[in-house]
Chains A and B, each alone.
Chain A
Amino acid sequence: MIDKILEKVEKLDAQILEAESETAEVAKGLVKAVGSSEEVMEDTVDGRADWKAHNKEISKLKSMREYFLAECENLTPEDRVFLARHSQRPHVDDIIDGLFTDFFEQKGDHLYDDDSSIYGGIARFHGIPVTVLGHRKGHTIEDNMKYNFGMPCPEGYRKALRLMNQAEKFKRPIITFIDTPGAYPGMEAEEHGQGEAIAMNLAKMSQFHVPVISVITGEGNSGGALAIGVANRVLMLENAVYSILSPEGFASILWKDSNRKSEACELMKLTAADLKEAGVCDDIIDEPIGGAQRNYEVVMRNMDAVIWKHLQELMKLSPNEVKNDRVSKYRKIG
Chain B
Amino acid sequence: MESLLNTISLSFVSKNVIEEEIEKKDGEPVFVTCKKCKRRSLKRNWKDNYYVCPNCGKYRSISAQYRMSLIFDPGSYKEINAHMKANDPMKFPEYAQKLEKQKNDTGLEEAAVTAVGKIGGHKTTVVVLDSRFFMGSMSTVVGEKVTRAVEYATKKKTPLIIFSASGGARMQEGIYSLMQMAKTSAAIEEFHATGGLYISFLTHPTTGGVTASFATLGDITLAEPGALIGFAGPRVIEQTINKKLPKGFQKSEYLEAHGFVDKIVPRNEMRDTLIQLLDLHQK
The interface-forming segment of B3-11, B71-79, B125-133, B229-237 is: B229-237
Set of chain B residues within 8 Å of A198, measured between Cβ atoms = 181, 212-213, 231
Near A by CB (< 8 A), chain B positions 109-153 give 139-141, 143-144, 147
Set of chain B residues within 8 Å of A226, measured between Cβ atoms = 178-179, 181-182
Minimum CB–CB distance for B168 against chain A, Å? 9
A164 sits at the interface (CB 8 A)? no
Set of chain A residues within 8 Å of B174, measured between Cβ atoms = 243-244, 268-270
Q: Do the beta carbons of A269 and B212 come within 8 Å of each other?
A: no
Set of chain A residues within 8 Å of B232, measured between Cβ atoms = 183, 185-186, 189-190, 194
Q: Do the beta carbons of B175 and A331 come within 8 Å of each other?
A: no
Minimum CB–CB distance for A258 against chain B, Å? 11
Near B by CB (< 8 A), chain A positions 195-215 give 195-196, 198-200, 202-204, 206-207
Among A189, A230, A250, A275, which residue has its beta carbon within 8 angstroms of that of B171? A250
Give CA–CA (A183, B245) in the complex, Å. 18
Q: Do the beta carbons of B260 and A193 come within 8 Å of each other?
A: yes
Set of chain B residues within 8 Å of A206, measured between Cβ atoms = 182, 185-186, 189
Q: Mark A131-161, 1 if CB is under 8 A from B, else 0.
A: 0000000000000000000000000000000
Set of chain A residues within 8 Å of B237, measured between Cβ atoms = 185-187, 190
B96 sits at the interface (CB 8 A)? no
A222 sits at the interface (CB 8 A)? yes
A92 sits at the interface (CB 8 A)? no
B247 sits at the interface (CB 8 A)? no
B93 sits at the interface (CB 8 A)? yes
Near A by CB (< 8 A), chain B positions 83-105 give 87, 89-90, 92-93
A interface secondary structure, majority? helix
Near B by CB (< 8 A), chain A positions 256-312 give 267-270, 275, 278, 280
Minimum CB–CB distance for A214 against chain B, Å? 11
B67 sits at the interface (CB 8 A)? no
Query: Given A187-B241, A187-B249, A193-B216, do A330 and B182 touch, yes or no (CB 8 Å)?
Result: yes
A111 sits at the interface (CB 8 A)? no
Set of chain B residues within 8 Å of A196, measured between Cβ atoms = 216, 260
Q: Do the beta carbons of A207 and B190 come within 8 Å of each other?
A: yes
Give CA–CA (A245, B168) in the complex, Å. 11
Set of chain B residues within 8 Å of A245, measured between Cβ atoms = 169, 171
Give CA–CA (A170, B92) in the complex, Å. 45
Minimum CB–CB distance for A262 against chain B, Å? 15
Residue of B nearest to A157 (CB): B212
* Interchain Cβ contacts within 8 Å, total number: 158
Q: Mark A222-256, 1 if CB is under 8 A from B, else 0.
A: 11001100100000000000111100011001100
Q: Do the beta carbons of B178 and A334 come within 8 Å of each other?
A: no
Minimum CB–CB distance for B49 against chain A, Å? 30
B215 sits at the interface (CB 8 A)? yes
Give CA–CA (A191, B92) in the complex, Å. 35
Set of chain A residues within 8 Å of B176, measured between Cβ atoms = 278, 333-334
Q: Do the beta carbons of B186 and A244 come within 8 Å of each other?
A: no
Q: Do the beta carbons of B175 and A244 come within 8 Å of each other?
A: yes
Residue of B nearest to A190 (CB): B230
Set of chain B residues within 8 Å of A194, measured between Cβ atoms = 212, 230-232
A19 sits at the interface (CB 8 A)? no
Residue of A nearest to B230 (CB): A190
Q: Do the beta carbons of A199 and B180 come within 8 Å of each other?
A: no
B63 sits at the interface (CB 8 A)? no
A327 sits at the interface (CB 8 A)? yes
Q: Do the beta carbons of B169 and A242 come within 8 Å of each other?
A: no
Among B92, B175, B186, B240, which residue has its beta carbon within 8 angstroms of that of A330? B186
Among A186, A189, A250, A327, which residue has its beta carbon within 8 angstroms of that of B186? A327
Set of chain B residues within 8 Å of A202, measured between Cβ atoms = 181-182, 185-186, 212-213
Interface residues of A (CB under 8 A from B): 183-187, 189-196, 198-200, 202-204, 206-207, 222-223, 226-227, 230, 242-245, 249-250, 253-254, 267-270, 275, 278, 280, 327, 330-331, 333-334
The 4 nearest A-B residue pairs measured at CB = A334-B140, A185-B232, A195-B211, A206-B186
